[in-house]
């Protein structure tokens, strides 16, 4: 049947080439669009079906052939022949491209955030709220844990977002704060290792502020981040060895001036990023300090820097497939 279909499609294309060349031109443009939109499927599209079958059907068939090739290689023993090994590397590159394309979709969602959106909108894009992500589930969580948006190094954090229920942890960290029901703090916390079983671990804390807040409301993020750090140290005394603190806020001229006076320095970015590397004093009486890096940045820096990094990966991968 597939052979018969190919014969008929070839004849249809021949007839259209003679009688309706504009349709062939449109088909060629569609083919280019598909290859640009889905570079990991380049070579899997059946060119003679483009313009005859629906676009969705063409993509579905290409995806099916790609998955079949992946399955065939994975079912092989570890002793691959040279051609099989090359094919496995090619498939791995295509799978990576698929993930990079997903990352681009995630970045595009962040670009649409505006002043009407709450902090929770950004939070759910970075990491779903009220979820606990564990190291053993890395492969299945890879499409919901998007902390790489802040920095790709956080993809190497192979542990949990919180080993306690996130609500319990937040209750401890925000103790004493006056919080309205509709003003719950949006905090993402990442541990570099399981705090219950390891001797030492690093922590990333992200505090999000929605667009449109007054400057005096945005400035609170610095105090809140340090308070979260002290709260964590109180929960895990002697175990927190270093901290990375991120405050995502709107930065106007007054706030930038304040940051400059408070020991922050601007970093290279496609938005606004200020960094402070002073240690945090977690207990004044004992003099205990923890090495910390504080970042105060705006959403444009988060989005545009992630976009630039991801496009570099995407363009590199596309160039490899186009050369094949």
Full DSSP string of 202-256: EEEEEEE--TT--HHHHHHHHHHHHHHHHHHHHHSTTTEEEEEEEEE----HHHH
Question: Averaging pLDDT over each range in 19-23, 51-55, 234-238, 290-294, which range is the top one?
Answer: 290-294
By mean pLDDT, which of 118-132, 194-208, 294-308 is the weakest?
118-132
By mean pLDDT, which of 5-9, 42-46, 77-81, 160-164 is the weakest?
160-164
> Which structure tokens are listed for 223?
């105090």
3-class DSSP state for residue 77?
Answer: coil
- In this predicted structure, the answer to whether residue 74 has a pLDDT above a threshold of 70 is no
- In this predicted structure, the answer to whether residue 291 has a pLDDT above a threshold of 90 is yes
Query: Which positions ≥6 away from 288 have C-beta within 8 Å?
Result: 233, 281, 282
How far lies 215's CA from each of 161, 174, 249, 292, 322, in Å?
Answer: 30, 21, 9, 24, 48
- In this predicted structure, the answer to whether residue 311 has a pLDDT above a threshold of 70 is yes
Question: Averaging pLDDT over each range in 15-19, 46-50, 105-109, which range is the top one?
Answer: 105-109
> Which structure tokens are listed for 47?
């060119």
- In this predicted structure, the answer to whether residue 181 has a pLDDT above a threshold of 50 is no
Return the pLDDT at 31. 78
Relative to beta strand 280-283, strand 273-276 is unpaired
By mean pLDDT, which of 38-47, 78-87, 258-267 is the weakest?
78-87
Scanning the structure block, which residue is given the tokens 């002073």?
A: 278
**265 DSSP assignment:** E
> Which structure tokens are listed for 28?
């060629």
CB count in 10 Å sphere of residue 26: 13
Which band of pLDDT confidence, cut at 50, 70 and 90, is reported for residue 272?
A: very high
More confident site: 222 or 40:
222
Long-range contacts of 37-40, Cβ-Cβ distance < 8 Å, separation of 24 or more: 38/62, 38/101, 39/97, 39/101, 39/314, 39/317, 39/318, 39/321, 39/322, 40/66, 40/93, 40/94, 40/95, 40/96, 40/97, 40/98, 40/101, 40/317, 40/321
Query: Which positions ≥6 away from 151 have C-beta within 8 Å?
Result: none
> Which structure tokens are listed for 147?
């902390």
Task: Give residue-wise pLDDT tens across range 217-249.
Answer: 788 889 888 888 888 888 888 888 999 999 988
Do residues 314 and 260 lie in contact, with contact meaning Cβ atoms separated by under 8 Å? no
User: CA-to-CA distance for 33 and 27, rounded, in angstroms?
Assistant: 10
Return the pLDDT at 97. 80
Whether pTM > 0.75 for this model: the answer is no
- In this predicted structure, the answer to whether residue 77 has a pLDDT above a threshold of 60 is no
Return the pLDDT at 182. 40
Mean pLDDT of the chain: 77
Which band of pLDDT confidence, cut at 50, 70 and 90, is reported for residue 184?
A: very low
Domain locations along the chain: 2-75, 117-305
Phi, psi angles (nearest 5°) of residue 320: -70, -45
Over range 193-215, report the average pLDDT: 80
> Which structure tokens are listed for 117?
């959106």
- In this predicted structure, the answer to whether residue 35 has a pLDDT above a threshold of 70 is yes
Phi, psi angles (nearest 5°) of residue 289: -125, 155
By mean pLDDT, which of 11-15, 167-171, 201-205 is the weakest?
167-171
Task: Give residue-wise pLDDT tens across range 80-135.
Answer: 677 776 777 667 777 778 888 888 988 998 888 776 666 667 777 877 766 666 65
Do residues 291 and 13 lie in contact, with contact meaning Cβ atoms separated by under 8 Å? no
């Amino acid at each position: 049947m597939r052979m018969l279909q190919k014969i008929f499609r070839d004849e249809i294309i021949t007839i259209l080439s003679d009688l309706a060349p504009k349709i062939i031109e449109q088909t060629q443009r569609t083919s280019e669009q598909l290859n640009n939109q889905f570079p990991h499927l380049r070579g899997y599209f059946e060119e003679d079906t483009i313009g005859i079958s629906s676009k969705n059907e063409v993509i579905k068939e290409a995806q099916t052939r790609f998955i079949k090739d992946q399955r065939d290689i994975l079912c092989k023993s570890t002793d691959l022949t040279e051609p099989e090994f090359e094919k496995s590397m090619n498939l791995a590159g295509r799978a990576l491209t698929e993930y990079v394309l997903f990352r681009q979709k995630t970045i595009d969602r962040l670009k649409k955030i505006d002043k009407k959106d709450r902090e929770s909108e950004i939070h759910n894009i970075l990491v779903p709220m009220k979820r606990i992500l564990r190291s053993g589930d890395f492969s299945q969580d890879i499409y919901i844990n998007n902390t790489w948006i802040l920095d790709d190094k956080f993809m190497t954090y192979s542990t949990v977002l919180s080993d306690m229920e996130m609500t319990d942890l937040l209750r401890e960290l925000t103790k004493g704060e006056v919080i309205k029901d509709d003003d719950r703090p949006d905090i993402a916390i990442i541990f570099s290792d399981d705090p219950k079983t390891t001797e030492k671990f690093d922590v990333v804390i992200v505090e999000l502020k929605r667009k449109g807040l007054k400057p005096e409301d945005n400035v609170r993020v610095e105090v809140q981040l340090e308070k979260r750090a002290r709260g964590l140290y109180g929960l895990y005394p002697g175990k927190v060895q270093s901290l990375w603190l991120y405050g995502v806020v709107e930065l106007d001229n007054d706030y930038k001036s304040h940051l400059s006076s408070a020991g922050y320095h601007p970093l290279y970015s496609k938005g606004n990023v200020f960094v402070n590397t002073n240690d945090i004093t977690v207990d004044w009486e004992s003099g205990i300090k923890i090495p910390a890096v504080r970042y105060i940045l705006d959403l444009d820096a988060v989005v545009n820097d992630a976009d630039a990094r991801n496009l570099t990966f995407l363009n590199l991968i596309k160039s490899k497939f186009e050369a094949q």
